[in-house]
Amino acid sequence: IMRKFSERQFVIPNFEKFVKAIEEIYWNCKSNTAGSNASYIPQLANVADHWGVSVCTVDGQRFSIGDTEVGFSIQSCSKPLTYALACEYLSPEVVHKFVGQEPSGRMFNEMVLDHNNQPHNPMINAGAIVTASLVYTLIDGKRSMAEKFDMVKTMMESAGGNERFGFDNSIYHSEKEAADRNFALGYFMKEKKVFPAKTNMLESLDFYFQLCSIVTSANTFSVVGATLANGGVCPLTDEKVFKVETCRDVLSLMHSCGLYNYSGQFAFNVGLPAKSGVSGIIMLIIPNLAGIVCYSPKLDDFGNSVRGVQFCEELLKTYAIHPY
Ligand code: DON
């Protein structure tokens, strides 16, 4: 980093100017108090009105503003990472025998399968429950739940520059108690024989709830975003965490399916891969440039962070980074 600094070879040579633009958009969004916290999980309903944005570039330049050290559960932002791990260990071909690549156009938790009786994609609940079951059932079946959980969490930590991630036990219990829809989805998919043979559906669901309850901060998770933007190499440690092909697959699905039934409009307005979670996180990837994480718990009707979506859309008005 020091050499690049002295030679002015950063991917964003004028990082100070970029930071100024981020700050300006941050303050614009702060005054927007629309939306409300996820209410179906009591532990998410009571969270304060935080607002933070963190940036990490593919060559390790970082900037954070606002509540970027506050811990929160990653919720649906676990989905692209569980999918990445399944692809790395099992191959995308095997994973896509069980789950599709098509946007569903429906709510994230909807009871709907595609024309093959499979989940539309790994970014909605049905698909994420299936990818969690693939990781739990098919990768080295002798490993315990604890070892499987550590596998996913350690992969996230590697992508996050070896920062420790946490686990929120009350979110996990709250999640599980409020999970009638996810249980219904699990039984529905079991009936339709969506899961691989020998899957313990209830244990796989439990595993999915645990992955949603992993805790990080915007600051740390922006490094995960930068690793995905950087072809799988963590910019802080130079560790190769994902294959280039895995990043391509993850980002392609984030582009088409990452914001649930707002994915089409977001792809139209922003044109970049992103993933949201009901805790209020949005991870935006600018391929070959940076990962950006927005955190603000108030959600719109689609379940996406109001300020997070606004931030991404305003960023695109300032910088011509829409690919088309
Ligand atoms: O499965 C659930 O209900 C959640 N714990 C995760 C879903 C989620 O984050 C959807 N986000 N908008």
10-residue stretch averages of pLDDT, the chain, 324 residues long: 64 94 98 95 93 97 98 98 98 98 93 96 98 95 91 98 97 95 98 96 98 98 98 98 98 97 96 98 98 98 97 95 92
CA of 276 to the centre of ligand 1 (A): 9
CA distance 110 to 281: 20
Which one, of 124, 152, 120, lies nearest residue 136 by Cα?
152
173 residue type, one letter: H
CB of 189 closer than 6 angstroms to any ligand 1 atom:
no
Among protein residues, the one with the nearest Cα to ligand 1's atom 7 is 76
Instruction: Provide the number of structural domains found in the chain.
Output: 1
* CA of 125, closest atom in ligand 1: 1
Any domain includes 27? no
In a domain, 43, yes or no: yes
Ligand 1 pocket member 108 (CB < 6 A): yes
95 close to ligand 1 (CB < 6 Angstrom): no
Which amino acid, one-letter code, is at 140?
D
Domain residues for the domain of 139 are: 35-316
Q: What angle do CA 288, 294, 295 make, to 5 degrees?
A: 150
Q: What are phi and psi of 124, to 5 degrees?
A: -100, 165
Pocket mutation for ligand 1, best pick of 72, 81, 109, 176 (most atoms within 8 Å of C-beta)? 109
The answer for 162, left when phi > 0, alpha when psi is -120 to 50, beta otherwise, is: left
Residue 26 forms part of a structural domain: no
Q: Would residue 307 count as lying in a domain?
A: yes
Q: State which of 129, 207, 212 you would mutate to test the pocket of ligand 1, scoring each by most atoms of that ligand within 8 A of its C-beta.
A: 212
Domain assignment present for 14: no
Q: Which amino acid is at 103?
A: P
Residue 186 confidence (pLDDT): 98
The pLDDT value recorded for residue 2 is 59
241: domain CATH number? 3.40.710.10
Q: Which amino acid makes up residue 183?
A: F
Strands 214-216 and 52-57, bridge-based pairing: unpaired
Give the distance between the most distant pair of CA atoms in the chain: 61
Answer whether residue 2 is part of any domain: no
Q: Is residue 282 part of a domain?
A: yes
Any alpha helices (H) in 178-298, and if so which ranges? 180-191, 201-212, 218-229, 244-257, 263-269
Q: How far is the CA of 287 from the centre of ligand 1 (A)?
A: 25
Indicate if ligand 1 lies below 6 Å from the C-beta of 276: yes
Separation between Cα atoms, residue 6 and residue 9, nearest integer Å? 8
Q: Is 212 in the pocket of ligand 1 (CB under 6 A)?
A: yes
CA Rg value for the chain: 18
> How many A from CA of 277 to the centre of ligand 1?
6
Q: How many A from CA of 59 to the centre of ligand 1?
A: 31
Instruction: Return the pLDDT at 3.
Output: 60
Locate the ligand 1 atom nearest the alpha carbon of residue 279 and give its number.
9
Instruction: Give the pLDDT confidence score for residue 141 in this predicted structure.
Output: 76
Q: How far is the CA of 127 from the centre of ligand 1 (A)?
A: 12
Q: Which helix (H) or strand (E) holds 311?
A: helix 306-318
Crossing angle for the helix pair 218-229 and 145-159, nearest 10 degrees? Answer: 80
3-state secondary structure of 87: helix
Asked if the structure places residue 324 within a domain, the reply is no
ipTM reported for the complex, 2 dp: 0.91
Q: What is the rounded CA–CA span in Å between residue 51 and residue 296? A: 5
Given this model, what pLDDT does residue 63 score? 98
Question: Would the CB of 109 count as within 6 Å of ligand 1?
Answer: yes
